[in-house]
Amino acid sequence: MHVMASHKDKIVLSINSLQGAGAERFVLTIGAAFHQLGFDVHVLRFNDKVEFSLDKDLTYHLIDYERYRWLPKGKIRHSVLAKKVDKYILKNIGQPTLLLSNLERSDSIFCYSKLPNIVYVIHNTLSLYYKLNETDSDNLKLTLRDRYSKHPCVCVSKGVKEDFIKIFGNSIPVTAIHNPIDRDGIQKLAEAFIPKYQDYIIHVGSFKEAKRHDILLKAYAQTDRSLPLLLAGQGKLKSEIEQLVIELGLSDTVIFLGFCENVFPYIKHARFKVLTSNWEGFALVIAESLALATPVVSTDCQSGPKELLPEKNLMPTDDIDAIAKKLSQAMQDSLQFSAPFNEALLPITIAKKYLDFIKSFAKQNITS
């Protein structure tokens, strides 16, 4: 296909804010790749919080969601906002060649958009994220079906796609495209400093339910603790996890790093990276660790890790004894859990897949 774009070709990347982790890094990484391909790239957000260094080659826009909170939440608020957003984009950016909507707030608004070439990027295993297997979830399933049937969808892993089809069937156009990994950029950032800690395990992730820091700590407590455990991140469950560290008597070997704008030096110099999540979309931090040649052990949650790691690197979810055993093995010999980085994850390659997807979808519409 014609990959290099004319300077007039616009790409819009929509997300609630640039404060967070996976989806936010996805927006900035793929935005830079689209710019390299010659597109005029715009990031639209609904909250002005930023936790990243912003690429000067991208243009940033803010539509303040808080100004619309007086409207009844749900369809009324989101449909009003969608009209405002459509008008803003057409006036200030122009009609997009591709518009990628990321995460719940953006998706709820673009559900009512009249713009062409919108694609939802599904970053989570929806059945687990929304707890759709619970008995009272039928209305929520209908709401989600109504939202995601409006535009074609890209899931960030095969596991997320399988889950998506299990919920909604085959009526919604959907494909799986992995998240882009800027290996060169990550390797450069990893050289920024040398951590004061040596010979340690690293866990990177927000303190929230899905990450299961509690399981990690209980498993770590069963090891000989010959390597300290560094926890990078912040989140609503942090105080609970800090308390659990005290209860388990781990205060001398568990270190809280807080939020790190640049966590890559810590990953690069770790003996190994551990992930104990109950669910992930893609597990970005695994691919980033592999880009730095850092060994990884991870729970084999429903989507993500098994697409990036060999089977020997995987552990069952919720199994403290099995996780403790794998941690002990990695603490003795971390190199047995090394794995190659997949070059198909490089940003330009991933950006081209998105362009191919929207182009093929447009062709289907013409022929149907």
pLDDT value at position 172? Answer: 93
Q: For residues 75 and 234, what is the distance between their CA atoms, to the nearest angstrom?
A: 32
The two structure tokens encoding residue 132? 């759709």
Confidence grade of residue 2 (pLDDT, cut at 50, 70, 90): very low
pLDDT value at position 8? Answer: 73
Tell me: pLDDT of 368 over 50: no
Q: Residue 365: CB partners within 8 Å, gap ≥ 6?
A: none
Q: For 199-209, what is each residue's pLDDT tens digit? A: 999 999 999 99
103 and 123 Cβ atoms separated by less than 8 Å = yes
* Residue 86 neighbours by CB distance under 10 Å: 16
Residue type, 177: I
Q: For 35-54, what is each residue's pLDDT tens digit? A: 999 999 999 999 999 988 89
Q: For 126-159, what is each residue's pLDDT tens digit? A: 998 898 987 778 899 999 999 999 999 999 999 9
Residue 275's H or E segment, with its range, is strand 272-275
Stretch 104-113: mean pLDDT, rounded? 97
pLDDT value at position 367? Answer: 38
Phi/psi for 255 (5° steps) reads -120, 125
Q: Residue 236: CB partners within 8 Å, gap ≥ 6?
A: 207, 208
Tell me: pLDDT of 366 over 50: no
295 and 326 Cβ atoms separated by less than 8 Å = no
pLDDT value at position 51? Answer: 82
Bridging pattern class, strands 40-45 and 10-15: parallel
Stretch 75-83: mean pLDDT, rounded? 97
Tell me: pLDDT of 14 over 70: yes
Write the DSSP assignment of 66-134 as a string of letters. GGGTTSPTTHHHHHHHHHHHHHHHHHHT-SEEEEEEEHHHHHHHHTT---SSEEEEE-S-HHHHTTTTS
Three-class DSSP category at 13? strand
Q: For 179-192, what is each residue's pLDDT tens digit? A: 999 999 999 999 99
Which strands sit side by side in the sheet containing 272-275, from one edge to the other? 254-258, 229-232, 201-204, 272-275, 296-299, 314-315
Q: Which domains does the chain have, with CATH numbers?
A: 10-180+346-367 (3.40.50.2000), 183-343 (3.40.50.2000)
pTM over 0.85: yes
Tell me: pLDDT of 30 over 80: yes
Q: For residues 254 and 217, what is the distance between their CA atoms, to the nearest angstrom?
A: 9
Cα dihedral 188, 191, 195, 198 sign: positive
270 and 61 Cβ atoms separated by less than 8 Å = no
pLDDT value at position 223? Answer: 98
The two structure tokens encoding residue 128? 């687990």
Confidence grade of residue 22 (pLDDT, cut at 50, 70, 90): confident
Q: For 211-252, what is each residue's pLDDT tens digit? A: 999 999 999 999 999 999 999 999 999 999 999 999 999 999
Q: For residues 242 and 227, what is the distance between their CA atoms, to the nearest angstrom?
A: 19
